[in-house]
Homo-oligomer: A and B are copies of this chain.
Amino acid sequence: MPRTSSTRAPGGAVTLQQVATAAGVSLATASRVLHGSGGRRVAEALAERVTTAAAELRYVAHAPAQSLARSRSTVVGVLVHDIADPYFAAIAAGAMDVAREHDLMVLVANTFRDPGLERDYLARLRAQRARAVLLAGSAFVGEPFAEEVAAFAESGGRVAAIGAHGTGIDTVEPDQYGGGRLIAEHLVALGHREIGVITGPAGLATVAQRLAGFTSVVTGPRLVHADFTREGGRAATRELLSRHPELTAIFALNDLMAAGALAALRELGCPVPEQISVAGFDDLPVATDLTPALTTVRLQLADIGARAMRLLLDDEPGGRLVPAPAELVVRDSTGRASTLH
Contact = CB atoms under 8 A, between A and B. Distances in A.
A278 interface: no
A13 interface: yes
A275 interface: no
The complex is assembled from copies of this chain, and their number is: 2
A97 B83 CA distance: 11
A263 B117 CA distance: 40
A296 to B, nearest CB: 14
Interface stretch (A120-128, A165-173, A195-203, A210-218): A120-128
A156 B11 CA distance: 6
A67 interface: yes
A123 B90 CA distance: 25
A177 to B, nearest CB: 26
A288 B234 CA distance: 13
Contacts of A291: 290-291
Contact of A64 (B11, B73, B83, B155): B73
Contacts of A190: none
B89 A83 contact: yes
Contact of A262 (B12, B262, B289): B289
A84 B73 contact: no
Given A71-B10, A106-B107, A289-B289, A60 B127 contact: yes
A290 B263 CA distance: 10
Contacts of A67: 64
Contact of A86 (B13, B86, B230): B86
Given A106-B108, A156-B13, A93 B84 contact: yes
Contacts of A86: 84, 86, 89
Q: Count chain B CB atoms within 10 A of each CB in A100, A105, A259, A263 and give the residue with the most.
A: A105
Interface in A102-119: 105-110, 117
Interface in A71-100: 71, 73, 75, 82-86, 89-90, 92-93, 96-97, 100
Contacts of A270: none
A110 B73 CA distance: 19
A43 interface: no
B155 A13 contact: yes
B83 A129 contact: no
Contacts of A285: 230
A71 B108 contact: no
A268 interface: no
Given A11-B129, A93-B84, A129-B62, A110 B105 contact: no
A93 B108 CA distance: 10
Given A100-B117, A291-B291, 16 more contacts: A13-B129, A58-B151, A60-B123, A61-B127, A62-B129, A63-B128, A64-B67, A64-B68, A83-B83, A83-B96, A84-B93, A85-B89, A89-B89, A105-B124, A106-B108, A108-B108
Q: Count chain B CB atoms within 10 A of each CB in A10, A75, A83, A262 and give the residue with the most.
A: A83
A105 B107 contact: yes
Contacts of A127: 60-63
